[in-house]
Structure 1
C-alpha cells in the first residue's frame, strides 16, 4: 500500500507478516520524532538487526490493576490506552496517514481502520523506541515518551509513566510458524517504580484471545 504523511498508524499495527520493505520514503514523515528520515530508518534497522523476525510484530496485553490496554509494536512503539480496548479494536490501523490517491468511491483499504484522535489529551500514550540491548536473559528494548502534553490526569493514569521496558527472546520461526504465523502474547511484569512499566513477551497458549485473533 502506498500512502503519504504520518506512517505511525500502519507501523504500530503492522500485519503479522514480516516487514519486507519501506518505500516512497521521501513522501513519508520521519517515523521517529526528532529525527530526520535517514536517522529514523537507521534507528529502526539497528533494532531490527537484533531480532529481524520480530520487528514491528504487534502484541496486546492488559493491566488488570488499572484497566489499561497495552499494545507493543516491537522495535518501534508501545501504546498505552487508559481503558480496556477490545482486542480487534486494538489491532485496527489508525488513520494517521493520507491515501496516495482517492477514487470515486472514497478511500478504501484492505484492512480495518479507526480514526486517529486529533486531541492529544484523548489519545493513547505513545512511547517510541529509545534503545536496545542483549543480555543473558534475552533482548531488552526501552521505549520513552518524546512529547509531553499539558493534560490533566488522575493518580491511576498511565500519563505518569516515563519509560517502558520490554523483554523478549529472539524469534526463531520454524517451517510450521512460517506457513501459519501466530502473534505472541505479553504480560505486565512487577516494577520497582511507578514511572516505569515492564513487559515480558512470550509464546501464547492456544486458548488465549490474541492467539485466536491472528
Structure 2
C-alpha cells in the first residue's frame, strides 16, 4: 500500500502540521489497496479527526491508523513560499514534475510575460513536446578561448551561465529567490539553498535566460532561451573579461532527444550535456543520456 506525496517547503508549516503528511495543495496519490483500506473506515476516521485543519491532515491521520507511511515524491510541490520561486524551479530535483500549487501567490514564473497564466502556458507548451523532461536540470562546462563557464539548463524553463566554474554539488542547490510561507524567513526550508549576490556585486551573479521558443523535430526538440536580468540591477556593471564575453551571449539554444518516460521507473540519474559557443553569440547545448562511466566535472 502506498501513500505518495510531499511535505511543505517551509519548515514552519511542517512543524505546525506534519513532516510526514502529503500536503493537499501539491496533491498526493494512493495505490488501489491503500484507497480500498482507507474507504473501509473513512467515515469513522473523519469523525475522530474533525478538529484537524484540512482534509490532507485527516487523510494523513487515517493512513496513520492503517499503518501506511508517506512515500516522499519530490515532484509534488506545495509551493509554501513567498516571492519569486525561480530558484526552486531552476534547480528541480531529479524527479518528474507533477504539480505546482499556490501559483496565484507568487509573481509570474517567467519575467518575459506579464501574467502568471501566460508564463505557465510557456512552460506547458514545452511539456507538451517532452513531458518527462520538464524542468529537468543538466550541467555542462565550456572551456574555450580562455573561457571557463558553467552552464545549467532547467529544460523548458531557464538556463544560467556562470563565467566561473561551479561543481554539480553547488549547481544543484536552488538559488534563494524566495522566502518562507508565513514569516517570510530566508533560512528555514526543507532543502538547502544558496545566496544570490546582491546587485552591488554583479561579478558574482550568473546571467539567466528564459524559454522563448519550442520546436519539435522528428529526433527530439529544440528550445531557445532569451536573456533577462534579475530585475533588481543597479548601475554597477562587471568589467571582468569573462563577464564581458558572457554579456554578448543573447540566447541559449538546447537540443535534446525526447526523454523516455519509462526512465522514471528506474533509479533516477541526471542527464549529461555538452556546450559550445557559435559565431552568432549563441550557446548551443546538447542534452543527452550519459555515457557509461561518464561524470560531470568542471575539471
Aligned to 1:101: 182
Once the two structures are TM-superposed, the CA of residue 145 in structure 1 deviates from its matched residue by: 0.9
Counterpart Cα distance in 1 of 2:207 and 2:179: 22
Counterpart Cα distance in 2 of 1:34 and 1:106: 26
Counterpart Cα distance in 2 of 1:48 and 1:106: 31
Structure 1 residues 95 and 152: alpha-carbon distance in aligned structure 2, compared to 1, 3 A threshold: closer
Aligned residues: 208
Contact kept, 8 Å, 1:31 with 1:37, in 2: the verdict is yes
Structure 1 residues 57 and 163: alpha-carbon distance in aligned structure 2, compared to 1, 3 A threshold: same
Q: Return 136-145 or 67-76, whichever deviates more.
A: 136-145
Contact kept, 8 Å, 2:90 with 2:157, in 1: the verdict is yes
Counterpart Cα distance in 2 of 1:82 and 1:9: 19
Q: In structure 2, which of residues 138, 155, 163 is the aligned counterpart of residue 82 of structure 1?
A: 163
Aligned to 2:255: 167
Contact kept, 8 Å, 2:180 with 2:186, in 1: the verdict is no
Counterpart Cα distance in 1 of 2:270 and 2:238: 35
Q: In structure 2, which of residues 275, 283, 293 is the aligned counterpart of residue 188 of structure 1?
A: 275
Aligned to 1:203: 289
Q: Does 1:73 align with 2:154?
A: yes
Contact kept, 8 Å, 1:153 with 1:159, in 2: the verdict is no
Q: Return 60-69 or 150-159, whichever deviates more.
A: 150-159
Q: Does 1:110 align with 2:190?
A: yes
Counterpart Cα distance in 2 of 1:155 and 1:107: 34
Q: Does 1:178 align with 2:259?
A: no
> Under a length normalisation based on structure 1, what TM-score does the superposition of the two structures give?
0.88
Q: Does 1:42 align with 2:121?
A: yes
Structure 1 stretches of 4+ with a deviation exceeding 3 A read 147-150, 152-156
Q: Return 45-54 or 198-207, whichever deviates more.
A: 198-207
> Pairwise CA RMSD of aligned residues?
2.3
Unaligned runs of 5+ in 2: 1-8, 10-79
Aligned to 2:221: 139
Counterpart Cα distance in 2 of 1:30 and 1:80: 22
Structure 1 residues 44 and 177: alpha-carbon distance in aligned structure 2, compared to 1, 3 A threshold: closer
Aligned to 2:18: none
Secondary structure in 1 aligned to 2:255? strand
Contact kept, 8 Å, 2:84 with 2:107, in 1: the verdict is yes
Structure 1 residues 181 and 32: alpha-carbon distance in aligned structure 2, compared to 1, 3 A threshold: same
Bigger radius of gyration: 2
Contact kept, 8 Å, 2:180 with 2:189, in 1: the verdict is no
Deviation readout 1:148-201 (Å, 9 max, x if unpaired): 966243554311100110000110132x642311110000146232x1110100
Specify which structure has the higher proportion of strand: 1
Specify which structure has the higher proportion of helix: 2
Deviation readout 1:80-100 (Å, 9 max, x if unpaired): 001001110011111100111
